[in-house]
Amino acid sequence: MESSAKKRIYLSSPTMHGDEQHFVAEAFDTNWVAPLGPNVNNFETELAAYTGCGYAAALSSGTAAIHLGLKLLGVGEGDVVFVSSLTFSASCNPIVYEKATPVFIDAEPDTWNMSPQALERAFEKYPNPRAVVVVHLYGTPAKMDEIMHICERHKVPILEDAAESLGSTYDGKHTGTFGRIGIYSFNGNKIITTSGGGMMVSGEEALVKEARVLSTQARDAARHYQHSKIGYNYRMSNIDAGIGRGQLMHLDGHLRLKKAIYKRYQEAFADIAAITMNPLNPKGDANNWLSCMTIEQGSKVTPDMVMDALEAENIESRPIWKPMNLQPVFAAYDFMSHNESGISVGEDIFNRGVCLPSDIKNTDADMDKVIGIVRGLFQK
C-alpha cells in the first residue's frame, strides 16, 4: 500500500552515512568547536590527497573560495575578468565584490562550458584580463586543453570553479587542479556536503597559506592583534569539516550512483528523438552531479510542461542556470557569444533544458516514476 502523502523526490539533497557523526562527535568530545581544529586540517589533507590538488584551504563556502582566489590572483578595481556565462551567480559575484569587471563568455554546445572560440574573441577585445574563471557545469569537464592553451598564450591565470565537479576528471586529472587556483563547494545540494562550505586549492603552497591567513581575519604573526591587511571571516568550522571528512569517505560511492542515474535516464529516453541528455566530455569522466535534458526546438513539449508535470507528483526539478549575461544585475557587462550571429548557446540551452531529479537516494521506483511522467508527455 502506498502511503497517502506522496514522498518528495529531490533534485539533489544531502546523503549522510553515519561516518560524519563520528568526526562531529569527536569534535564535541575534545571541545574543538571552532573555525579551526583537527577536522579542518585533516579534511584539507584528505581532499588534497583525493584530488591531487597539492594544497587546500577549508573555507565557509565555495563563494568565499572564489573571492579569496580572485584576490590572490591580484584581481582588483578596474580589472577585467573573463567568466563562464552559463553558471550560477556565485561564479561571478566575487568579481563584482572586488569592483572588477566581469566579461561573460558563452558556452559551447559540446560540453555546455566556456567556448574556446568565444574566449579567443574576448582576448581580441580585452587583451589584458587579470584572470579567467572556468566552470565545469553540472560536473562535465570543460575543454581544458583548448582553454589552457589560449590562457597560456596570453599568460593569464585560470581560476577553476569546480564547485559542481568534485570527482570529475579530464585526461585522468581531477577538475579543480588545472588552474593556478581551483575551488570546490560543499553546499547542501553538491555531490558531497558539509551543510555549507568550500575549499580553495592550488599546487602553490604559498597561495593556500595566504588563503588561510586571509580567511581568519589576516592576523600578523604577533602576540597582540595586529593587522597589515584586510581579512575575512571565511574559515570552515571544525564541526563542518567533520561532516566533510565523513562525506569524503563516500565520494566514490556517490560518483557511482550519480553515473547510474545519468545512464538510466539516457537509456530510458534513447528512443525519444526530441530528448537529448546533457553532454559529457569524451576526454573526461564526469561526476554527473545533475542529469539534465534538452528538448528539441519545435517540440510541443516545453521545459515548463516537464517541470509542472513532475511538480504535480511532488517531484523536484529545475531549469538550467539562467545565463549571467541575461541577468538584470549584470546587464551592464559585456558578453562574448559562441556564435557570430543569432541566439547564444547558453540562452538556447536555458530555453530548452531541464535539470532532472538526480538525488542518489532515489529508488528504482522513484526513477521509474520520473521517467514514466517524462515519457508520457512526449508520447501524447
Interaction of residue 325 with ligand PLP, rule CB under 6 A: no
Residue 329, C-alpha cell as written in the block: 544585475
Nearest distance in Å: CB 93, ligand PLP: 9
Which residue, 163 or 336, is less far from ligand PLP as judged by CB? 163
Specify the 3-state DSSP secondary structure of 9: strand
Q: Distance between CA 195 and CA 244 in Å, rounded?
A: 9
Residues 130-149 that bind ligand PLP (CB under 6 A): 135
**DSSP annotation of 140:** P
Which residue, 302 or 327, is less far from ligand PLP as judged by CB? 327
Q: Distance between CA 329 and CA 315 in Å, rounded?
A: 30
**DSSP annotation of 125:** H
* Residue 249 near residue 266, CB atoms below 8 Å: no
Nearest distance in Å: CB 12, ligand PLP: 11
Residues 194-223 that bind ligand PLP (CB under 6 A): 198
Specify the 3-state DSSP secondary structure of 58: strand
Interaction of residue 358 with ligand PLP, rule CB under 6 A: no
44: nearest Cα among 174, 186, 199: 199
Q: Distance between CA 204 and CA 206 in Å, rounded?
A: 6
Nearest distance in Å: CB 363, ligand PLP: 26
Which residue, 85 or 169, is less far from ligand PLP as judged by CB? 85
* Residue 102 near residue 93, CB atoms below 8 Å: no
Only segment of 58-66, 146-154, 339-347, 362-370 that touches ligand PLP (CB under 6 A) = 58-66
Which residues, in sequence order, are bridge partners of residue 132? Answer: 82, 158
Nearest distance in Å: CB 56, ligand PLP: 14
Only segment of 105-113, 159-167, 277-285, 364-372 that touches ligand PLP (CB under 6 A) = 159-167
Only segment of 86-94, 171-179, 212-220, 221-229 that touches ligand PLP (CB under 6 A) = 86-94
Nearest residue to ligand PLP, using CB? 62
Interaction of residue 63 with ligand PLP, rule CB under 6 A: yes
Among 20, 44, 79, 164, binds ligand PLP (CB under 6 A): 164
Interaction of residue 61 with ligand PLP, rule CB under 6 A: yes
Which residue, 87 or 169, is less far from ligand PLP as judged by CB? 87
Which residues, in sequence order, are bridge partners of residue 233? Answer: 216
β pairing state of 80-84 and 101-105: parallel
Interaction of residue 187 with ligand PLP, rule CB under 6 A: yes
Q: Work out the burial of residue 172: count CB atoms within 10 Å of its CB; fewer than 13 is exposed, 13-18 middle, 19 or more buried.
A: exposed
323: nearest Cα among 89, 82, 63: 89
Which residue, 122 or 163, is less far from ligand PLP as judged by CB? 163
Which residue, 93 or 266, is less far from ligand PLP as judged by CB? 93
Which residue, 88 or 170, is less far from ligand PLP as judged by CB? 88
One-character DSSP codes across 259-289: HHHHHHHHHHTTT-TTEEEPP--TTEE----
192: nearest Cα among 260, 153, 263, 246: 246
Interaction of residue 12 with ligand PLP, rule CB under 6 A: no
Which residue, 114 or 374, is less far from ligand PLP as judged by CB? 114
**DSSP annotation of 91:** G
For residue 269, the Cα-to-chain-centroid distance in whole angstroms is: 26
Interaction of residue 87 with ligand PLP, rule CB under 6 A: yes
Specify the 3-state DSSP secondary structure of 244: helix
**# of chain residues touching ligand PLP (CB under 6 A):** 14
Residue 186, C-alpha cell as written in the block: 560543499
Which residue, 180 or 369, is less far from ligand PLP as judged by CB? 180
β pairing state of 181-185 and 101-105: unpaired
Interaction of residue 161 with ligand PLP, rule CB under 6 A: yes
Which residue, 20 or 160, is less far from ligand PLP as judged by CB? 160
| Site of interaction with ligand PLP (CB under 6 A) | 61-63, 87-88, 90-91, 135, 161, 163-164, 185, 187, 198
